[in-house]
Amino acid sequence: RDIGLLGIPLEAGGAVAGTLMGPAALRTAGLAARLTGLGHRVHDHGDVTPAAVADRDLPAELAARCRSAGTVAGFVRAAHERALSILEAGRMPVFMGGDHSISMGTVSAVARHCAATGRDLVLLWLDAHADFNTPATSPSGNIHGMPVAMLCGDESLRPLLGEHRFPPLAPENVHLFGLRSIDQEERRAIALNGLDGIDMRLVDEFGVSVLLRRILADLDPARTHLHVSLDVDFLDPEVAPGAGTPVPGGATYREAHLVMEMLHDSGLVGSLDIVELNPFLDERGRSAVVLAELTASLFGRSVLDRPAGQRGIA
Ligand code: ARG
Ligand code: MN
Ligand code: MN
Ligand code: MN
């Protein structure tokens, strides 16, 4: 495949500085070489240059309730524009964050591209958190806890994207996978809106393969564009310590690879975010390397050759 890497060095959406080094750490971990080694063509589009947006350019309510709203808006708008042009060039984008608010820019661009090309966008959110807060419900004011709400059409967050318009995601096409930390009002909103939530209790009870297969089996390969948004805190902090909001009890190394391998075999994935990597908190690049290895699994790395017939047992 023709892959386009794009760095989005944003840290203002979270409380802990350091995710702005995420794209650099993923490059140092050899992300591009791992993908070219699998036979893909890789173009590194560099890092986005944020648009100039000040807090006073945004609705007063939004700027008052959200930390660094102007800075986040500047990155979100620039990411959206760059993402759209990579998609229009026919490349499969890999977005390197940056905190998770970058997805407001990337996924909204994917949604526009899907609408233009007649495909259904399905979102797989691999994360300890639901990121479904709004300015009204957020206990922290950190925008990285809000992208899913924005992508589902929350009006109060829409000004972050400026003049750009995108079709909001249908809640039934949003799958939150790996959940183990949700705020009280956020939890109510998830139920009210009908998002599909897979928490770690389900993962323990049924395993990732049954749960993921159930999601993938419902998707029409001819129509579906699956966007995968991988938050480093989907992984257990023992596996990936470079996370600003770590939560114990996360996915193991093997569970995460299995998810990526199954996603590869599905042939449905059209775009990827790798977010929340904080190299300042990492241990000698371990988390960056794990994320680069997981990305390789998503793009077809496997231990043995797997003939087509051997892919799905059920
Ligand atoms: N739910 C918390 C909040 O809204 C934490 C969000 C963490 N999000 C993330 N992308 N790491 O502040
Ligand atoms: Mn396309
Ligand atoms: Mn997240
Ligand atoms: Mn998270």
pLDDT value of position 313: 45
Ligand of minimum distance to the alpha carbon of 19 = 1
The confidence band for 56, taking pLDDT boundaries of 50, 70 and 90, is very high
**Ligand 1 binding pocket mutation candidate from 72, 125, 129 (most atoms within 8 A of CB):** 129
pLDDT value of position 308: 64
C-beta pairs of 81-90 under 8 Å, 24+ apart in sequence:
81/109, 81/164, 82/6, 82/45, 82/48, 83/6, 83/109, 83/110, 84/109, 84/112, 84/113, 86/4, 86/6, 86/45, 87/113, 87/271, 88/113, 89/4, 90/2
Across the range 193-222, mean pLDDT stands at 98
Residue 154 annotated in active site: no
ipTM (interface predicted TM): 0.90
pLDDT value of position 314: 40
pLDDT value of position 116: 98
Q: Which residues contact 20 (CB under 8 A, 6 or more apart)?
A: 9, 10, 11, 98
Mapping DSSP to helix (H, G, I), strand (E, B) and coil, where does residue 14 land?
coil
- Identify whether 98 is preceded by a cis peptide bond (ω within 30 of 0): yes
Degrees to nearest 5, angle at CA 31 with 112 and 11: 60
pLDDT value of position 305: 84
Residue 276 annotated in active site: yes
pLDDT in tens, 162-177: 999 999 999 999 999 9
Q: What is the separation of C-alpha 15 from the centre of its chain, rounded to a whole number of angstroms?
A: 18
Answer yes or no: is the C-beta of 11 below 6 A from any ligand 1 atom: no
Residue 233 annotated in active site: yes
What percentage of the chain reaches a pLDDT higher than 70? Answer: 97
**DSSP assigned state of 17:** T
Residue 238 annotated in active site: no
**Ligand 1 binding pocket mutation candidate from 142, 146, 184, 277 (most atoms within 8 A of CB):** 142
The answer, as to whether pTM is greater than 0.90, is yes
pLDDT in tens, 66-95: 999 999 999 999 999 999 999 999 999 999
Neighbours of ion ligand 3 (CB under 5 A): 100, 127, 129, 131, 231
